[in-house]
Amino acid sequence: MPNPTATFETSEGNFKAEIYLEQMPITAANFINLAKSGFYNGLHFHRVIPGFMCQFGCPHSKDPNSRRAGTGGPPHGNIQDEHPDNFKVTNGPGTLSMANTGAPNSGGSQFFINVTDNAFLDWWDRRTPSKHPVFAKINEGYDIVQKIEGLGSRSGSVRRPIQMISITIED
């Protein structure tokens, strides 16, 4: 059975990603369940750093000017880290990876889209203690992600609000 596809409808346009449900069942199912519940609808990208990544998924980002944006998680709390030896996909351009605080089992609803080779964030890479498992990859509309990237800054703040209107999952 093929992996599900997520369609991301943003204020800047749409893009799609294959969700690695079979390979990353905990992380992918968490994302899918949040998307299907409408959790992500109306949130904003709260951290966009050109040449690095675009981060999204904090419930406090419903207000794009909230000082708490980037500090929240899902209503059910954090999920268990997932680092399968048989599925090592690097944090390369166009991949979606679970954001976390750097502490074990601290991921929840926030994720980021890599816009460059960020292999140092791979869970098996020892250059940094941060471990960020890849759970999806954009397969359509990467130009929209590049447009979003262009609205960021070195500090991570965005020049104008970038809203996630909805995320639709196709099984």
Q: Name 164's bridge partners.
A: 10
Among 8, 118, 121, 163, the one annotated catalytic: 121
Higher pLDDT, 151 or 104: 151
- CA 115 – CA 142 distance, rounded (Å): 9
Among 52, 56, 111, 135, the one annotated catalytic: 52
- CA 95 – CA 165 distance, rounded (Å): 20
Per the structure, the count of domains in the chain is 1
Among 56, 111, 132, 135, the one annotated catalytic: 132
Identify whether 15 is a catalytic site residue: no
Continuous segment of H or E residues that includes residue 148: helix 142-149
Identify whether 47 is a catalytic site residue: yes
Among 100, 110, 118, 163, the one annotated catalytic: 100
pLDDT tens digits, residue range 20-46? Answer: 999 999 999 999 999 999 999 999 999
Answer whether residue 102 shows pLDDT above 80: yes
Q: Does pTM top 0.85 for this prediction?
A: yes
Tokens 């994302």 belong to which residue?
31
CA terminus-to-terminus distance, the chain: 9
| CATH code of residue 163 | 2.40.100.10
Range of the domain at 95: 5-170
pLDDT score of 65:
93
pLDDT score of 79:
96
